[in-house]
Amino acid sequence: MALELFGFSIGRVDKDKKNKTSFALPEPEDGALEVAPSGGAYGTYVDMEGAAKNELDLIKKYREMATFPECDQAIDDVINEAVVTNREESPVSISLGKSNLSDSIQESIKNEFTELIRLLDFRRVGYELFRKWYVDGRLFFHIIIDNKIPNVVY
């Protein structure tokens, strides 16, 4: 005979009632874990109507959107296609084949482009620079020119 108090029974276990239902999953005896589907949703929006007060608000919103895993993966895919991460090749290149510029001007542009890649240390930090530009939509650099030696670039 079992005594019942507040929905609990105190007494001997009834051996006839082996098939009691439980709200908890049975414990796996092999040490495996039960993975339940996790719910949840991410959501954000960009107001293209112009309610953003300034560019800083937009940049903050873009950076917030880039933290979502799906957006982060898409951004990484774009950057991996845009920037080469091979030691033998330049990370980026310029193509002037379809331009109407003379050969000497094309050569000057290519030389300056190569020098710019060197100054930015694009081989080492190109991935991060491109990511910043892609997420923020803009990228600023501060160039300091020594008035005593204006032709020398460091």
1 domain residue, yes or no: no
Number of domains in the chain: 1
Alpha-helix residue ranges (DSSP H) falling in 14-142? 55-66, 69-82, 103-119, 122-136
Closest CA to 134 of 94, 58, 81, 79: 79
| Domain assignment of residue 63, given as a range | 55-136
68 domain residue, yes or no: yes
8 domain residue, yes or no: no
Under the phi-then-psi rule, with left for phi > 0, alpha for psi from -120 to 50, and beta for the rest, what region is 110?
alpha
The secondary structure of the chain in percent helix, strand, coil, rounded to multiples of 5, reads 40, 5, 60
* Spatial separation of the C-alpha atoms in residues 78 and 70, rounded to whole Å: 13
Taking only the tens place, the pLDDT of each residue in 32-82 is 555 555 555 666 666 666 666 788 887 888 888 888 888 899 999 999 888
Taking only the tens place, the pLDDT of each residue in 97-152 is 899 999 999 999 999 999 888 888 888 888 888 999 999 888 887 777 778 887 76
Closest CA to 74 of 131, 122, 126: 131
DSSP code for 4: E
31 domain residue, yes or no: no
Q: Is 87 helix (H, G, I), strand (E, B) or coil?
A: coil
pTM: 0.56
* Spatial separation of the C-alpha atoms in residues 43 and 60, rounded to whole Å: 15
